[in-house]
Structure 1
Amino acid sequence: MIYKNSLEGISSAMLKGFFVNWPKPPKLETHLKLLKNSSKVVIALDDNTDQVIGFITAISDDVLSAYIPFLEVLPEYKNKGIGKELVNRMLKELDDIYMIDLCCDDDLVPYYDKFGMIKTNGMILRNYKKQSGS
């Protein structure tokens, strides 16, 4: 397993299999674009297959606030500590930031509790016509 804080050497072809159960998942090129446009990114690579198997992104003003919109691990690699490592590495990247926010489904609250995060209220708006990013 290799963890990287850059997209150097990462192509869209290395991003297959993400956005499971999304009715309109982004294309591979769109996925790469969202990674590139993020303030910070950490990816996990399978060093045997040279495929991205997990990623986490953050959007930040680099002063006081950051938001973590994505944490994903391919289904066949789940429950191996990869997500935990991605979160820990991202939190280290954001160590100088006052507030780090994310939204998650209720069933994931216990997962994020383990990182010292506190449950709060949040509001969202979804434009499902644009779910694929195009």
Structure 2
Amino acid sequence: MIARSARTPWNYSSSDVVKLNASVGWFPERTEDDYAEALARGPAVGAWRSEQLVGFARAITDGAIHAYVDDVMVHPEHRREGLAVQLVDALCDAIASVRTVTLFCGEDLVPLYERASFTRTQQVILHRQHPRQ
């Protein structure tokens, strides 16, 4: 089941997201507090099997012009079930008022996001990281 939240009280905690994050092997430095802050600021969707969060995606958005899809993750035991595309579609529905939705991914994931109606562009991606104080 896909559940959504757009700046409403969560029916799960940031610890659920941290556990899912650990299962996919991403960003071990991210804490429950980090996700609690992120979840309070923007829309997100989750996929559940029984009581376990097995999929998650969130957006960073200004609510009108631009949104960035981030943290699309599916528990390894639930991959290849179509959850990632369902999550991204549900997230895009939640931010339908935004004109441009962007995401960044590795070359191997382009076909997945094309199934969610994203198209490849020729833009160059640059990053600037700030150390956390």
- Superposed, 1:4-23 pairs within 5 Å as 4-5=4-5, 6-15=8-17, 16-19=19-22, 20-22=24-26
Gaps of 5+ in 2: none
1:62 aligns with 2:63: yes
Using the size of structure 1 for normalisation, the TM-score is 0.79
- Superposed, 1:1-134 pairs within 5 Å as 1-5=1-5, 6-15=8-17, 16-19=19-22, 20-22=24-26, 24-37=28-41, 39-46=42-49, 48=50, 50-120=51-121, 121-125=123-127, 127=129, 130=132
Aligned partner of residue 52 in structure 1, secondary structure: strand
Aligned partner of residue 17 in structure 1, secondary structure: helix
| Pairs aligned (count) | 128
Q: Deviations over 1:84-122 (max 9, x none)?
A: 111111121222221111111111111111222111123
**Do the aligned partners of residues 118 and 62 (structure 1) sit closer, same or farther apart at CA in structure 2, a change above 3 Å counting?**
same
Calculate the aligned-residue CA RMSD, in Å.
Answer: 2.3
Higher alpha-carbon deviation: 60-69 or 119-128? 119-128
Percent of paired sites with the same residue? 26
Cα contact 2:4–2:90 (8 A) shared by 1: no
Alpha-carbon deviation of 1:35? 2.1
Using the size of structure 2 for normalisation, the TM-score is 0.80
